[in-house]
Structure 1
């Protein structure tokens, strides 16, 4: 009889303690999901030059020329979204874009848009998110991207004295939130950090980046957040990948870049579009 009473008492105590713990666990979950403050949001009612500027630099053997002020419709805001494009103008024309060594881009019939928040909106860690889609699920030569770069990067435009650190050293580190390589994939995007190898222009593109499926011609939210020492990548709020221990390698303020590039010789007609509904940065409370 005593044993039965003891068992009943133990069961009763377990129920009491479990009831006491449940609200705490629920509260912890709630705190986790509501622990962000939005400190930057652009929903593209207009092109706000307090948030963005054109960035024109020739990298990655790109076949297009970045043009300013949305020439040829390469960067436009309409119906509440930003459109970043690659456009075939139909004839080759001179291009004034310079690469990191000062070499001028050869003539090309392709023009494109690239904007950055450099010296406009720069943040240390936190969480960056963009809601965007492409005009198709993948075509040869497509290379659209949504990514971050350290604010001391020494590439054009150089506007402040401390912008003297070469890619991808600390101060000029790179995190790719969304990239699509049309020559290598369809219905997929690439996400992950570029690992610095400790020298100018020496980066590891492979070890910390992975490909994941997505319906590219539909709107999705692509984000990266610093979670303690990790970088966590999410698609529509769900974690798809994690760079364990890489977050501490990016202590610097970072700015955002949206661009659409054409990177191989495959021909294209008309235009390609990356449509961006909004971009935001959040900081933990």
Structure 2
């Protein structure tokens, strides 16, 4: 009987030790979500309307879903360009304090600036664009350095001009209609070392995709490489470019109109969700 009890005790100790080892076994390395917005509502802790005039765009950005330009419904956000049919004043200002001229077009633009900003990691959005390829279309999902000096300037360190370090730009998804429907660009803006000096072509991929279907568009840092993915598949790698973007970056979703071509319908980019992930060892 004593031998049986002793054996049972030893087996119990072995099992307990095995469980302890399992509990302290480290997790495998991988991506861990540290920000996720599925747009059940418009969360001001995550986003703000961003109203400014850049790139000589024809539309006027408006806040608070005016004219239905950033509708949140059914678990998605719809960013639109809307033709009002007649010109109206626009309060958007450039970084040089120039006011946008009167325009009949209004649009939505949201940014996570001073809300959700991250150093490197991985950003992904699931989105689609209806009726791509119409003249003047310019929807985008992209990142900008948190020290950028364009409106709104809310903190003392927002003094860096584009595209210098601190105000770097990565375009994860950008549909420029001049190239026709069902394609997008993924790129890093190569800084030429002075304010306003950015090379848009040197570090760019043009990728085919059915834009009216949902896809996941992402960018990630892997070591010192920057990798762009479409639905999880690598489509473009910028080797040894990761250290060119050491600053925290915020996300932007917007729909712009880049020329004075007439619109036959309102334009829409629908976003299902946005997330950021960090790499954990």
Partner of 2:188: 193
Whether 1:284 aligns to 2:253 is no
Whether 1:229 aligns to 2:220 is no
How far apart, CA to CA, are the structure 2 residues paired with 1:265 and 1:112?
A: 14
Whether 1:164 aligns to 2:166 is no
Whether 1:117 aligns to 2:73 is no
Shift of 1:183: 1.9
How far apart, CA to CA, are the structure 1 residues paired with 2:176 and 2:259?
A: 10
Query: Runs of at least 4 residues of structure 1 off by over 6 A?
Result: none
Instruction: Say whether the 8 Å CA contact 1:114–1:257 is kept in structure 2.
Output: yes
Whether 1:245 aligns to 2:240 is yes
Partner of 1:44: 39
Whether 1:96 aligns to 2:128 is no
The structure 2 residue matched to 1:269, chosen from 261, 264, 269, is 264
Instruction: Say which SS state the counterpart of residue 254 (structure 1) adopts.
Output: strand
How far apart, CA to CA, are the structure 2 residues paired with 1:161 and 1:261?
A: 28
Instruction: Say whether the 8 Å CA contact 1:147–1:257 is kept in structure 2.
Output: yes
Shift of 1:211: 0.3
Shift of 1:99: 1.2
The structure 1 residue matched to 2:62, chosen from 63, 67, 84, is 67
Shift of 1:186: 1.6
Shift of 1:269: 3.0
Shift of 1:267: 0.7
Give a deviation string over 1:16-64, Cα, whole Å, max 9, x none.
xxxxxxxxxxxxxx95xx6011000000000000000011111111000
**Structure 1: segments with no counterpart, 5+ residues:** 1-29
How far apart, CA to CA, are the structure 2 residues paired with 1:184 and 1:138?
A: 7
Alignment coverage as a number of residue pairs: 254
Shift of 1:137: 2.9
Partner of 2:11: none
Instruction: Say which SS state the counterpart of residue 164 (structure 1) adopts.
Output: coil
Instruction: Say whether the 8 Å CA contact 1:137–1:215 is kept in structure 2.
Output: no
Instruction: Say which SS state the counterpart of residue 183 (structure 1) adopts.
Output: helix
Whether 1:132 aligns to 2:127 is yes
Shift of 1:192: 1.1
Which stretch shifts more, 134-143 or 154-163?
Answer: 134-143
Which stretch shifts more, 204-213 or 261-270?
Answer: 261-270
Shift of 1:243: 1.0
Partner of 2:175: 180
Shift of 1:131: 0.1
- Please report the TM-score for the alignment, with normalisation by the length of structure 2: 0.89
